[in-house]
Structure 1
Amino acid sequence: MAMNGVVPGSRAGAAVAPFKMDKAADFANYFCTYAYLYHQKEMLSDRVRMDAYYHAIFRNARHFAGKAVLDVGTGSGILAIWSAQAGARKVYAVEATNMAQQARKLVEANQVGHIVEVIEGSIEDISLPEKVDVIISEWMGYYLIRESMFDSVIHARDRWLKPSGVMYPSNARMWLAPIASHVGEQKNQEFQNAMVDWDYFNQEMNDEYGVDMSVLTTPFLEEQRKYYLQTSLWVSLYPNQVIGAPALVKEIDCHLATIEDISSVKSIFKIPFTKGQTKFCGLAGWFDVHFKGSPIDPADHDVELTTAPMYDQATHWGQQVFVIHPSFDIQDGDVLQGSMEIVRSKQNHRLMDVTITHEVQKSEGSASPPVTSFFYIE
């Protein structure tokens, strides 16, 4: 789960994904964030998130009553406590960081210590005395799959979920839509300002210290371009900034998905513009998850958690915006078409590399040249 203004992509509780990488480095770079109550508080304050999980559990208490539950990445323990309050017989709350110690305190203070067992360790390393009826987890990162925590949920499912068991959430979807916003102009201006500042800096180094820094101008430019123009932006959009019907990028069945299904996402989109004359400046990505139960044991109430642009509230995930340079003047009848590919970064599998190819088909028949842009979800 992502944290606005603190650490991008921070999430409540997690478990090491089964990749060949140094565990100590992964812990230092990722898991240690969740050992702080400050970060847990930020996520617990997300009303959209909290309401969705609360209603999913208590409106479908039948799935929990008398059952064994596994909470993957319990964080503060809130989902484990709710599961117990909904009637679970036993809850195994697994947490990779020492936030597990705080979770135990909270569990005891809420008088469910006889039901909830907090286990400190990664889901790949721990062992349970039984198979479980329910796996619950809040594993979603920026644009759903950043952080790769779903890998750990898949591991838990394949090892510990009964054939008749249910996943909470059960389904997830990724969306993409064109937007109109001034954020592109702002980031481009910041990039230009950074380069102007570099020129002043280079001149000052020459004048004051006799050192010519110009050999580093190109590397600095590439670094700043990646930071300002190619790194996706955390933005909380309003619905009226979306200028075309959202396209479905990926649909995930949490009961069946494999790691291969989510390690590379490819999609083709064709989106008519719908907001009259305006400027198309970028694409926004968001996700939703559903709590539907399973095909053989459907939920009594299908609850949705969406991170789509909203007027009255927002989630800490926000939306991920991919700024397009230059922007395009568009009107009703024009069509955006292209493709999107999301793969895991070779340097850090919890981060994502994005390639977007797009063109604008004008209503009078002409088309813009295809443009391919590279982005990073960091």
Structure 2
Amino acid sequence: EEEEEEEGEQGRLWDDWQSDEEDSSYDYLCLFCDLRYDSTERLFEHCTYEHSFDFCGIIKDLVLDFYGSFKLINYIRSQVAMNKCWRWDLLFKSITDLQNHLHAADNIKNDGKFPWDDELYLKPFMIDDALLYSFSNEEDEEDVGSAVAKEDILSELMNDGEVGEIYNSCHGILDTEKLQTSGCLDIRRHAEDVVNFFEKSESNGICRGGDNGESTQKRKDCQLTVSFANVVAREIKNVNEKYFSSYGSFGIHREMISDKVRTETYRSAILNNPSLLSQATVMDVGCGTGILSLFAAQAGASRVIAVEASLKMASMATRIAKDNGFLYEENNKGEEGEANHFSGVIDVVQTMVEELDKFRKIPPHSVDVLVSEWMGYCLLYESMLSSVLYARDNWLKPGGAILPDKATIFVAGFGRGGTSLLFWEDVYGFNMSCIGKEVMEDAACSPIIDVMDSKDIVTESTVLQTFDLTTMKPDELDFTSRCELVLKPTLEEVSAVAEPTVCWCYGIVLWFETGFTSRFCKEMPTILSTSPYSPKTHWSQTIFTFQEPIAMTSAKSCTENGGLIGTEWCPAARISSRISIARSSVHRSLDISMEITGISLDGRRRSWPVQIFDL
């Protein structure tokens, strides 16, 4: 009876999901411009007449199945994003030049292959691309019969051992979150790539079969769906394995532990707040060597659950806890008939926190203190904060403490000294500035992780984004924020003397602070800062270089004229920045966009092209 009720509940969930899909309204983005349409028919009609791209005609002429059509869409989106012609691989200076170039396709194959044949294009280029699930037309649907059952797709999925294993893991994550929490968005989003794609494909008529059971077409379409999931699942698995295995390197842990700012801040927060840690149940997410767990045990915690995904480091953390007398282990030396005794408080569990329930049955909301050193470059690189939020939502008591409980990203502008130009201008007396120019061009595309000297900061610092870890939702990890940069007061005072002085801003630098605030650390709150004005840390700072330097001066000394804003003839009084940081479709990476506008004293503006960075 219980099994029947469970099957009935799954059926209702499946029906509810289908109803949600039917009620949703898709927003279809053009393949070549920013226009959006409410139907694929209107979208493809627009592409045909405005961009000389007859999608349906090309699909028919090239005899592309769903598999090939899916890859074609992702291929075109990837090419257009780089201002490249999808047919001739020509690079253009702007999207306008590209659109003026577009013409009807011919001679598409190169060496007998399509440019989009690579399995890479099975992965969606654009997140939540509605077109990928709805491009099949009515004629295609009339050619085939009844829908393939969800069970058939999942059965085919389970025949692939690697995908089946990951599917079960992903489905478990999604089920847990439905019952308990919105959960870890980053893990959940990739889990949905594996699970929901099958369901979306089935409900939208992409997977169709014949009328008589296990037809050839039915099985072929199921296999195509599984092929996509295989790519997504394998990529997630590979990235996770590389990520966690990289933390199996002792050199990384020595670097982190040797970072006195990092380690001593955590030590101070844990040891100097006895009312928080005494007799507390503590969870350490991503424990590594177990150093924070050892501090918690030393501070008087009654139990420490140390979670570590790296097999190598979990083994080391277990041994370290045991060697120092803190490992939680059963003691069988009692008298016969007596209950077994336990010693130590640290219980090391080798798993991702999202799968902790598989290895330990921890009562929901039973943890007093959640501690983790989750921060990466630019604060959010590596996407580990989402795992901390998952642990918070599942196991932290109402009103329980998170260490740290606050995080803030700061931004400031830097001058010429913050670039490599000065180095290349004089290399043992030789001028190698041509290399410096090339390096600057590369830096305008890729962020640099390095220590910025505080004397090279030319603007005031300002807050870009603040996170409250006790209340934030996982989707807040992706954000867009605006800020304005003005010259430091000291530079303004200098520029007010004699003739006005122009200061060149070459880019922006980001850093972060995490706070162990008095909300939980009542005896001794503290702050961990990675600021250029503070002692350096292993995080350094994250540097983003402008496409061209921007001239700045103070409002007091700015002489208005009709020159181009941001040049030495008309320096900007301030720089307005619109910065977006989002988790990339590449697991554990970040996509960062930067839009810069120079503003003159009289309010005139000049904007530069948006810059996209991958971290």
TM-score per shorter chain, which class?
0.7 to 0.9
1:90 aligned residue: 303
Q: Judging by fraction of residues, say which structure has more strand.
A: 1
1:309 aligned partner: 532
Cα gap change, 1:370 to 1:253, in 2 (>3 Å): same
Distance in 2 (alpha carbons) for counterparts of 1:72 and 1:187: 43
Deviations 1:214-271 (A, max 9, x none): xxxxxxxxxx998543111112112222222212111111011111011x21111122
SS of the equivalent of 1:339 reads: strand
Q: Are residue 53 (structure 1) and residue 292 (structure 2) matched?
A: no
Alpha-carbon offset, residue 35 of structure 1: 0.9
Counterpart among 370, 375, 385 of residue 140 in structure 1: 375
Q: 1:206 aligns to what?
A: none
Deviations for 1:56-96, whole angstroms, at most 9, x for unmatched residues? 11111221100100000000100000000000000000000
Aligned to 1:112: 326
The higher-RCO structure (CA 8 Å, 6+ apart) is 1
1:320 is displaced (CA, Å) by: 0.5
CA contact (8 A) 2:443 2:545 kept: no
Aligned partner of residue 356 in structure 1, secondary structure = strand
Paired residue for 1:339? 578
Identity %: 25
Match of 1:241 among 446, 456, 470: 456
The structure with more helix, counted as a fraction of residues? 2
CA deviation string 1:3-56 (max 9, x = no partner): xxxxxxxxxxxx983341534212233111101111111111111101110111
Aligned to 1:291, which of 501, 505, 516?
516
Amino acid at match of 2:453: Y
SS at match of 1:87: coil
The 1:293/1:137 distance shift into structure 2, 3 A limit, reads farther
Structure 1: stretches of 5+ with no match in the other structure: 1-14, 197-223
Query: C-alpha displacement at 1:343, in angstroms?
Result: 1.5
The code of the aligned residue for 2:590 comes to M
Aligned length: 331
Counterparts in 2 of 1:281 and 1:188: CA distance versus 1, 3 Å? farther
Residues in 2 aligned to 1:229 and 1:67: alpha-carbon distance in whole angstroms: 48
> Aligned equivalents of 1:121 and 1:30: distance in 2?
13
Q: Deviations over 1:300-325 (max 9, x none)?
A: 222100111036x2011111110012
Q: Aligned to 1:324, which of 517, 522, 546?
A: 546
Report the Cα distance in structure 1 between the residues aligned to 2:404 and 2:303, rounded to whole angstroms.
Answer: 19
Q: Structure 1 pair 195/236, CA: closer, same or farther in 2 (3 Å)?
A: closer
Q: Please say if 1:374 is aligned against 2:611.
A: yes
Q: Aligned Cα RMSD in Å?
A: 2.6
Cα distance between partner residues in 1 of 2:261 and 2:437: 40
Read off the aligned partner of 1:61 and give its amino acid letter.
Answer: P
Residue 32 (1) aligns with residue 213 (2): no
Corresponding residue to 1:260 among 457, 469, 475:
475
Q: Distance in 2 between matches of 1:171 and 1:146?
A: 17
Q: What amino acid is the match of 2:472?
A: A
Larger Rg: 2
Cα displacement (A) at 1:174? 0.8
Give the secondary-structure state (helix, strand or coil) at the position aligned to 2:389: helix
> Which residue is equivalent to 1:357?
595
Deviation at 1:341, TM superposition (A): 1.1
* TM-score, L = length of structure 1: 0.81
Contact 2:591 2:613 in 1 (8 A): yes
SS in structure 2 at match of 1:125:
helix
Distance 2:257 2:542 in 1: 21
Unmatched tracts of structure 2, length 5 or more: 1-183, 191-231, 328-343, 425-431, 493-501, 556-572
Moved more, 313-322 or 353-362: 353-362
Equivalent position SS for 1:108 = helix
Task: State TM-score, norm by structure 2.
Answer: 0.51
Query: What one-letter code is carried by the residue in structure 2 that aligns with 1:129?
Result: I
Secondary structure in 1 matching 2:283: strand
Q: Does 1:124 align with 2:338?
A: no
CA distance, structure 2, for counterparts of residue 162 and residue 104 of structure 1: 26
**After the TM superposition, which parts of structure 1 deviate over 3 Å for at least 4 consecutive aligned residues?**
15-19, 181-196, 224-228, 365-368
Counterpart of 2:391 in structure 1 is: 156
Alpha-carbon distance, 1:278 to partner: 2.2
Q: Distance in 2 between matches of 1:191 and 1:53?
A: 44
Checking the alignment, whether the CA contact within 8 Å between 1:166 and 1:293 is kept in structure 2 is: no
Letter in 1 for 2:550: F
